[in-house]
Amino acid sequence: MDDRTEKNILQDIAGQEYEHGFVTDVEQEFIPKGLNEDIIRLISAKKEEPEWLLEFRLGAFRRWQKMKVPAWAHLKIPEIDFQDIIYYAAPKKDSDRPKEIDPELEKTFDKLGIPLGERAALAGVAVDAVFDSVSVATTFRQALSEKGIIFCSFSEAVKEHPDLVRKYLASVVPVGDNFYAALNSAVFSDGSFCYIPKGVRCPMELSSYFRINARGTGQFERTLIVADEGSYVSYMEGCTAPMRDENQLHAAVVEIVVEKDAEVKYSTVQNWYPGDAQGRGGIFNFVTKRGICKGCGSHLSWTQVETGSAITWKYPSTILKGDNSSSEFYSVAVTNNWQQADTGTKMIHIGKNTRSRIISKGISAGHSQNSYRGLVKMLPGADNARNYSQCDSLLIGDKCGAHTFPDIQNANMTAVVEHEATTSKISEDQLFYCNQRGIGPEEAVGLIVNGYAREVLSKLPMEFAVEAQKLLQVSLEGSVG
Amino acid sequence: MTPSIEREAVMENVLQPVRENVRTVTVAQGETLERVFMLRDSSCGLPMEHLVLEAGSRADVTVVVMPGVSCDIRLAVDIAGENACCSVKGIYLCPDNEKVHIAVDMNHLVPHCSSRQLFKGIAGGSSSVDFYGKIIVAALAQKTEAYQENHSLLLSDKSCVNTRPQLEIYADDVKCSHGATIGRLNGEEQFYMRSRGITLREARVLQMISFLSPVFHDMPESAVREEIEEAVEKAVRQM
C-alpha cells in the first residue's frame, strides 16, 4: 500500500463521528458551582439522605482536602479546577406526572439503544438508567424482586435498604483509598445498587447506563454489588456523553462483594466522548473499581472495552481473600487521536490456591498514548496461588505510544507468577496474506484487529459483544499500521 | 578499581577502559565491549552506571551477584548510533538475607538497533530481590528489536522477589517484548530424577544450574565462561 492511501485512510478514521454526541433539551435543575461542606449538605438534602450518610460524605470531604492529585500515571492531565464543577444536576420532574419518565428522556435513551419501557423482546436485560446525577428509571424491578434480588438506584437503596448499604458501603474501596475515590465518597450522586440473595442465580443481565448531559457538570456515580453465598449475576455497564469543547469529569467508584461460592461477571463498554480530532474536549474518566472475593471458591470476572474518554485512569482490581477464589481481567483499550489511557488491573492474592488471569490488549492510533499498568501481589499466605498475565499492544501509525508497566511481587515460594508482554504493529505478512486472497487493505486491518481482540470480546455477554465489535470497527476501521 | 570485581573478562577494542571514577563508558563506532563483573563483596556495585553505544558498536555486559552480596546495581544504556547491539545479562544468587536491587534502563534513541536483557536468579533464606527494567523506544527509533526477560526462583517462605519490567514505546515499526516469572522448582522434574536414583539434593542442584545456564549460553570467551560457570555451580551447591 502506498503512502497516499495510507494517509487517506488515517484521515478517514480521524474524521469518524461520535454518534452519541447529541444533547437532550430537558429542563434541569442545578446546584451552584463549587465544592464545600455546604454544597455537600445541599446534595445530601436533595437526596433526602439520613444523617449517617451525610457524616460519611463530610468525613470523606475532609480527607479529600488533605490529599494530593495523583501524578504517577503516564498521563498528561491538565489542571482540574474542582471549584469550577457543578456537582449535582438533575432533570426536573414534571409536577403533573411525578411518577412517569419525561418523554424527552425516554427518547434520549431510546436513541442510545436503551429502552426504558419493559419490552418483551428485550426481556433478557434489566436496566438502571442514570442521567447526570440521578437515576431516571430501573426496569424489571418487580420481576427481580420476586426472586429476592434487589436492583435499584443507589439513592433508593439508601432509603429502602439502609442496613445493607451501611454494611457494605466503602468496605472494598475505603474513603481515603485515593484522591478520586475520596472525592466520589464526598459528592457521589447516583448509581446502581444490586444485591443477590443466597443461592439465587439472577435470571437476566443487569445493567447500568450512564449519560452525562448537562454542561459544566461532573458525574460521580457509585455502584455497589453484593453477591451472597452461591449466587450468580452478570452485570453490564455502558456510558456516553455529548460532544463538547470542555472537559467533563467522571469519577466513579464501583464496589463488588463476592461471598462464598458466588460468581460475579462485570462487563463495561466505555464509550464516553473522546474529544475531537484536535484533542479538544472529551471526558476525564477517573474511576476506582474494586471487588473482593470474600468467601471460599468465589469468582469475579472483569471484562472491559475502553474506546472513549479523553483520559482514562482506571484499574479494576480484585482482592482474592477467600481460599480457592479466582478472578479474571479481560481488557481491550483503544485510543485514537489525542486520547490517553492508563488502565490495567490489580490482583491481590491473600487466600490459598487463589488463581488469577489477566489478558490485556491495547490498540493505539493517531497521537494517542495507551498504557497498561498492573499489580500482581502474592502475600505470604497465598500458598499455591497462580497468576498468568498477558499484555499485548498494537501500534497503528508512528505518532502514538504503547506502554506496559507491570509490578509483580511474590512473597510465597509455592506461588507462581507469569507475565509476558509484546508490542508490535500489524504485520506486513498478515496484510499481504489477506490482500493476496482478495481482501482489501481496510477490511484486512479490521479482520486482524478483530482477531487480535477476539479473546476479550468473546468474554462479553451477547448483548454487549455486538455493540463492542461495532465500536471497534467505528474507531479503527481502515487503519493501517 | 575494587577487589570485588574479580575479573574484567574480555577486553578488546575498548575506547575508554573502565577506570575508577569513570561512570560513563562509551563504546565507539564499530567497536565491541565485553565485560563480566563478578560481585563477591557487598561494599561495591557496578563500576559503570552509564553505557553509551555509538553506531555499529556492540556491548555485552554480564553481572554475577554471588551469595552474601547485597548490592544496588544501576545501569542506564543509551543506544545512540544506528546498527548498535546491546546485551545485558545477570545472575543473582541470594541464599541468606541479601538485598539485591537491580535497575536497568535501556534507551533506544535511533533506528535499526537491537537489545536483549536476561536476568535470572534464585532467592532463598530471607533475602529480597527487586528488579526494575525499562525499555524506552523513542519515536525515531524505528525497526528496533528489544527484548527483556527476568525469571526468579523462590526457595523459602521468607524470601521475596518484586519485579517491574516496563515498556515505553513511541515508535510503531518495532518488535518489543518482556517476560517475567517468579516460581519454584518443579516437583515433577524432581520426581523424575529421584525415580532414577538421583538424590533430591542433587536433583535440585541440577534444576538450578539448568535454570541459570541460558545466561552463559552466548558468552563468547570459553575460558571465562567455564570459570564463571564453575563458580556459580559451587555457589549453587551450597545453597
Q: What is the pLDDT of residues A206-251, one digit of tens each?
A: 888 888 888 888 889 899 999 999 999 999 888 877 777 788 899 9
The predicted pLDDT at position B40 comes to 84
Q: Quick one: CA dihedral A197, A198, A203, A207, positive or negative?
A: positive
Predicted TM-score (pTM) of the model is 0.86
The B-side interface with A (CB below 8 A) comprises 139, 142, 152, 154-157, 159-184
Q: What are phi and psi of A262, to 5 degrees?
A: -90, 165
Q: Can you tell me the mean pLDDT for B166-176?
A: 90
pLDDT digits (tens, 9 = 90+) for B115-133: 999 999 999 999 999 999 9
pLDDT tier at A120 (50, 70, 90 boundaries)? very low
Instruction: Report how far Cα B100 is from the mean position of its chain's Cα atoms.
Output: 12
Other CB atoms closer than 10 Å to residue B237's CB: what's the count?
Answer: 13
CA A375 vs CA A315, A329, A404, B163, B167: distances in Å? 10, 12, 11, 10, 15
Domain of residue B111 covers 5-185
Chain B environment of A420 (Cβ under 8 Å): 177-180
Q: How confident is the model at residue A357, as a pLDDT?
A: 95
Note whether A421 contacts B179, CB cutoff 8 Å: yes
pLDDT value at A453 more than 70: yes
> How high is the pLDDT of residue B112?
95
Q: Is B164 in Cβ contact with A407 (below 8 Å)?
A: yes
Identify the closest residue of chain A to B147 by CA–CA distance. A422
| pLDDT band (50, 70, 90) for residue A270 | confident
Question: What is the predicted pLDDT for the residue at A11?
Answer: 46
Q: Give the A:B interface size as CB pairs under 8 Å.
A: 111
Rounded to whole angstroms, how far apart are CA atoms A324 and A293? 10
Does the pLDDT value for residue B4 go beyond 50? no
Calculate the average pLDDT of chain A. 85
Interface with chain A: mutation pick from B172, B174, B177, highest number of A CBs within 10 Å: B172
Is residue A476 within 8 A of residue A282, CB to CB? The reply is: no
Cα B23 from chain centroid? 19
To test the contact with chain B by mutation, choose from A408, A416, A418 the residue with the greatest count of B C-beta atoms within 10 A, namely A408
Name which of A308, A222, A316, A312 is nearest A265 in CA terms.
A316
Query: What whole-number distance in Å separates Cα of residue A7 and Cα of residue A350?
Result: 51
Main-chain phi, psi angles of A279, to 5 degrees: 85, 15
Cβ–Cβ below 8 Å for A406 and B164? yes
In the numeric block, which cell numbers belong to residue A433? 496474506
Q: What is the pLDDT of residues B9-21, one digit of tens each?
A: 443 333 333 444 4
Of A386, A350, A412, which Cα lies nearest the Cα of B159? A412
Please check the confidence at residue A112 and state whether its pLDDT lies above 50. Answer: yes
Residue for cell digits 474494586?
A290
* Within a domain: B211: no
Partner-chain residue, chosen from B160, B171, B178, that has the shortest CB–CB distance to A398: B171
pLDDT value for A17: 64
Percent of chain A surpassing pLDDT 70? 90
Identify the three-state secondary structure at position A418: strand
Answer whether residue B218 is part of any domain: no
Q: Is pLDDT of B239 > 50?
A: yes
Task: Give B188-221 pLDDT, tens digit per residue.
Answer: 999 999 999 999 999 999 999 999 999 988 777 7
Which residue in the set A380, A395, A420 is minimally distant from B177, CB to CB? A420
* Domains of chain B: total: 1
- Contact: A413, B155; criterion CB under 8 Å: yes
From chain A, pick out residues whose CB is under 8 angstroms from the CB of B157.
380, 412-413
- On whether any CB of chain B is under 8 Å from the CB of A192, the answer is no
- By C-alpha distance, which of A151, A227, A408, A446 is closest to B154? A408
Average pLDDT of A23-50? Answer: 87
In tens, the pLDDT along A45-82 reads 988 899 999 999 999 999 999 999 988 889 898 888 99
* Span of A8-17, A110-119, A337-346, A421-430 with lowest mean pLDDT: A8-17
- List, in sequence order, the alpha helices (H) in A394-461: 428-436, 441-457
Q: Comparing C-alpha atoms, which of A77, A101, A113, A89 is closest to residue A39? A: A89
